[in-house]
């Protein structure tokens, strides 16, 4: 029943925006560092939480430990897009999806073919020298021992929004505008507890809010449809029904 209702909503709209979280990437076998396992692993090896390890102050003061954690827990370069990524790219190609707004930093939406992607928290695939601004890929970072430095001697920093850092204004404004003007907002793979990203749901003024998450969220009562299943299975089934 809910699948059919969602299919009908998607069929009748050409202004859909998708807001996604870690649950989209976990279906590509990228662990959620905020999960119980991620929390336990960080505290066992490093003695502090992932939020501390991925903070700007920790990066500045403990750069070597930051990179040890970052390289081993945030860079999954062998990961491939899953059904959710491909379904969203297909919806964009069909002219139905106007934008993807993601909290993930893995670049899998673009790898699947999505063109309009607002990466709220940046991307592991962009790394810059803090001295001369030279660009480095994620592969470059992994290939350097210890703390990565530019050929000019400058420290290289991932273009990832660390805790204590603000979001990029252009990315935030683009995501804000897309969601505010959307006819349909599909939220998937997120429990909607991480701000400011979770606050984007409140910007949506339409009456077709769709939540797809394996667990219940505090926003379920606001949704027109709430489905507690695999986001990849749900979105791929909807696309197949439309085609």
Helix/strand/coil for 117: strand
HSE-CB for 221 with a 13 A CA cutoff: 1
Dihedral, CA of residue 7, residue 10, residue 11 and residue 12, to nearest 10: 130
Evaluate whether 208 touches 60 at the Cβ level (below 8 Å).
no
**Is 121 an active-site residue?**
yes
Q: Which of 1, 23, 26 is nearest to 226 (CA)?
A: 1
Evaluate whether 97 touches 17 at the Cβ level (below 8 Å).
yes
Cα–Cα separations (whole angstroms), residue 31 to 36, 92, 174, 199 = 11, 27, 28, 24
Q: Which of 238, 204, 243, 236 is nearest to 87 (CA)?
A: 236
Cα–Cα separations (whole angstroms), residue 137 to 37, 117, 119 = 28, 19, 17
Q: Which of 94, 42, 93 is nearest to 68 (CA)?
A: 42
Q: How many CB atoms lie within 10 A of CB 27?
A: 18
Residues 79 and 73: their CA atoms lie apart, in Å, by 13
Which of 85, 121, 149, 228 is labelled catalytic?
121
Active site residues: 121
């Amino acid at each position: 029943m809910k699948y059919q209702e969602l299919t009908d909503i998607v069929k009748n709209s050409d202004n859909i925006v998708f807001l996604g979280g870690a649950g989209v990437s976990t279906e590509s076998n990228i662990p959620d560092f905020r999960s119980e396992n991620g929390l336990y692993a960080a505290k066992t090896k490093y003695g502090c939480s992932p939020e501390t390890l991925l903070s700007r102050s920790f990066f500045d003061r403990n750069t070597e430990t930051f990179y040890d954690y970052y390289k081993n827990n945030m860079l999954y370069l062998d990961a491939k897009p899953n059904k959710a990524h491909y379904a969203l790219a297909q919806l964009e190609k069909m002219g139905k999806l106007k934008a993807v707004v993601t909290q993930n930093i893995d670049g899998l939406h673009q790898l699947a073919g999505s063109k309009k992607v607002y990466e709220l928290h940046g991307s592991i695939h962009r790394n810059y020298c803090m001295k001369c601004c030279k660009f480095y890929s994620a592969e470059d970072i992994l290939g350097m021992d210890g703390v990565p430095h530019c050929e000019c001697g400058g420290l290289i920093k991932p273009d990832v929004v660390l805790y204590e850092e603000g979001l990029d204004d252009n990315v935030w404004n683009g995501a804000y505008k897309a969601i505010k003007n959307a006819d349909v907002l599909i939220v998937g793979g997120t429990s909607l507890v991480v701000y400011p990203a979770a606050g984007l749901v409140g910007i949506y003024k339409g009456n077709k809010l769709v939540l797809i998450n394996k667990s219940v969220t505090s926003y379920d009562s606001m949704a027109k449809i709430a489905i507690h299943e695999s986001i990849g299975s749900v979105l791929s089934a909807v696309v197949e029904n439309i085609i």
